[in-house]
Amino acid sequence: MTIDYNDFLKVDIRVGKILKAEEFPEARNPAYKLQIDFGDEIGIKKTSAQITQNYTLNELNEKLVAAVVNFPPKQIGPFMSEVLTLGFMDENNHVVLISPDKNVPLGGRLH
């Protein structure tokens, strides 16, 4: 399936910095609750991420990540997820987060 560039532009992918990561024991699958700062325009958003196999809570502190910020909020158990943090599956089917390899302004849009 192919899409045109205008379809791509509908997906708003931004860079944010994880401010807080904590356990999410109520999740059906092992996950963390994250608070991510996307800068002044978007602000701080919450999400959950099934990344416990590849990341400790300490490793996530101030990590830059990419996320879709224009999906509607999604209820995950008792938690409302506001963005979708992006990653690729490793050889064990565990998520590896997408992260810029240099500092970029928070809220910067993927081009």
Instruction: List the CATH number of the domain containing 74.
Output: 2.40.50.140
- The dihedrals phi and psi of 103, each to the nearest 5 degrees, come to -65, 135
Residues in the chain: 111
Answer yes or no: is 62 within a domain.
yes
**Contact yes or no for 35/22 (Cβ under 8 A):** no
| pLDDT tens-digit profile, the chain (111 residues) | 899 999 999 999 999 999 999 999 999 999 999 999 999 999 999 999 999 999 999 999 999 999 999 999 999 989 999 999 999 999 999 999 999 999 999 999 998
Q: Measure the CA–CA gap between 15 and 110, rounded to whole angstroms.
A: 8
Domain span at 31: 5-97
**Contact yes or no for 86/66 (Cβ under 8 A):** yes
What's the pTM value of the predicted model, to 2 decimals?
A: 0.94
Answer yes or no: is 107 within a domain.
no
